[in-house]
Amino acid sequence: MTQRPQKLFDWFCLMVINFMWATQAPVIKLIGNRLGPVAIAFVPMILSTLLFLPALFYEGKRLGRPIQWRWSDARHFAIAGLFGFFFLQLTYTLGAQRTLAANAAVITLSIPVMVALAASTMLGEKLNLVRVLGFILALGGVLMTSVPDIRGASFGSGQYLVGNLLFLGACAGSAFYNTYCKLLIDKKYTELEILVYTSVVASACSVPLFIWVEPLRVADIRSLDSAALWGILELALIVYGGSMLMFFAILKRLDVTQATLSNYVLPFFIGLLAVIVLKETITPLVIFGGVIAFLSTLLVTAYEAEILSWLARRRGAA
């Protein structure tokens, strides 16, 4: 595949990945209060780990590669799993309980910015004019799609301070996890290794929560109806599994800053799914904002090199 079609394909894949991530919101709403927040956050992740473990063993056998669990390898997965995956899930769950959904939606807009800062520090990635312009356009588009959340947000009230800080911590955990996984990809670990090993660490860390914070009983699982069970399976296979494998594959070709900018289309996809699944309405402003977010991510993903080259030629001619 030549360079331009490859970049367009990468952009399309990022849109698919974000659509897969967006399914988390309506699925959790469909599960409702059948399970506690800790179970909703970690049961699908544990199930995902168990489902993808056989694929990892098959991959290792096919590649003739032993399990990468020597200390030199394990410490990388332990760092990403504990300070990234587990931390973001825990703070997301606790933060969502203690703040408004509108506050959380607005705070989530900080993730691409945090990724850019983390990638600059940990990976030496640099912001250029195209990426800055892309950030500005994408942020403008996502603000249009998030008007109800902005109107409903309340950051002046002290009762939501702890929840807001916890949710900000979840955004920082997400930024750290994405950036550190790019580091692991650069170290030539496979997508399955990164997914399964970091999930094993996060799953192991979640066990004490099921013992002391929110005890999980077999009866709770057995009482779930088919909709809830299908929802948990969707989260395990699609949100925690397939989407992450696709994202790690994209990181082989793109900077993490470029890839994470696509997160700004998430509010549009969440709104679209709310219309399809939950029968909510969507406004022309949300559609227009979504188009701007789409175009800004396309600009940075597929046309960055050409624009920078054109600007360099203009400077040279001047």
CA distances from 248 to 23, 53, 176, 245, 288 (A): 19, 17, 14, 5, 30
User: What pTM does this model have?
Assistant: 0.93
Per-residue pLDDT, 102: 78
Per-residue pLDDT, 68: 65
- Asked if pLDDT for residue 66 goes beyond 80, the answer is no
Q: What is the Cβ-side half-sphere exposure of residue 176, based on CA atoms within 13 angstroms?
A: 20
When pLDDT is averaged across residues 300-308 and rounded to a whole number, the result is 92
Determine what percent of the chain falls in helix, strand and coil, rounding each to the nearest 5. 85, 0, 15
- Asked if pLDDT for residue 206 goes beyond 80, the answer is yes
**Six-digit token string for 222:** 């057995």
The CA distance from 18 to 293, in Å, is 12
The CA distance from 90 to 71, in Å, is 26
Helical packing angle, 3-22 and 243-250, nearest 10°: 150
When pLDDT is averaged across residues 107-123 and rounded to a whole number, the result is 93
Per-residue pLDDT, 69: 66
- Asked if pLDDT for residue 280 goes beyond 80, the answer is no
Nearest to 196 by CA among 288, 279, 73, 287: 73
Per-residue pLDDT, 94: 85
Report the percentage of the chain scoring pLDDT > 90: 58
Nearest to 283 by CA among 265, 263, 268, 266: 268
135-149 per-position pLDDT tens digit: 999 999 998 988 778
- Asked if pLDDT for residue 192 goes beyond 90, the answer is yes
pLDDT bracket for residue 216 (50, 70, 90): confident
Per-residue pLDDT, 262: 95
When pLDDT is averaged across residues 9-35 and rounded to a whole number, the result is 89
In three-state secondary structure terms, 254 is coil
The dihedral of CA 21, 26, 28, 31: what is its sign? negative
Per-residue pLDDT, 2: 58
CA distances from 137 to 61, 102, 130 (A): 46, 21, 10
Q: What are phi and psi of 64, to 5 degrees?
A: 65, 40
- Asked if pLDDT for residue 202 goes beyond 80, the answer is yes
Domain ranges of the chain: 3-317
pLDDT bracket for residue 71 (50, 70, 90): confident
Per-residue pLDDT, 217: 85
